[in-house]
Amino acid sequence: MSSVFVSNLPSTYSEKDLTDIFKDAGLKPQKAKLLFDNDGKSKCAGFVDFGNPKDTAEAVKQCNNMNMSEGKRLNVAVANK
């Protein structure tokens, strides 16, 4: 399994929303995990797991710099877990 690190997400996004970004791009994410601070506030970042490195590379190619709500651009990179 390989993963991408995603940042610059809207603060209102859920793990389902994070997964849907990649599903809507025609990809097959297996699991998403958002990051939160100690107060439970979203860090506007998370990880998405894919089945293989090819899918991970395609996720970066298709979704990095994607326009998001609130005028944000998504940052997607291969995760160094």
Query: How do the domains of the chain map onto residue ranges?
Result: 2-78
DSSP result, 8-24: S--TT--HHHHHHHHHH
33-68 pLDDT, tens digit per residue, is 999 999 999 999 999 999 999 999 999 999 999 998
Asked whether the predicted pLDDT for residue 69 surpasses 80, the reply is no
Output the pTM of the full model.
0.93
Closest CA to 19 of 57, 44, 46, 58: 46
- Separation between Cα atoms, residue 25 and residue 22, nearest integer Å: 5
Q: Identify the band that residue 81 occupies on the pLDDT scale cut at 50, 70 and 90.
A: low
Tell me the average pLDDT of the chain: 94
Q: What angle do CA 2, 37, 27 make, to 5 degrees?
A: 30
Domain 2-78 superfamily per CATH: RRM (RNA recognition motif) domain (3.30.70.330)
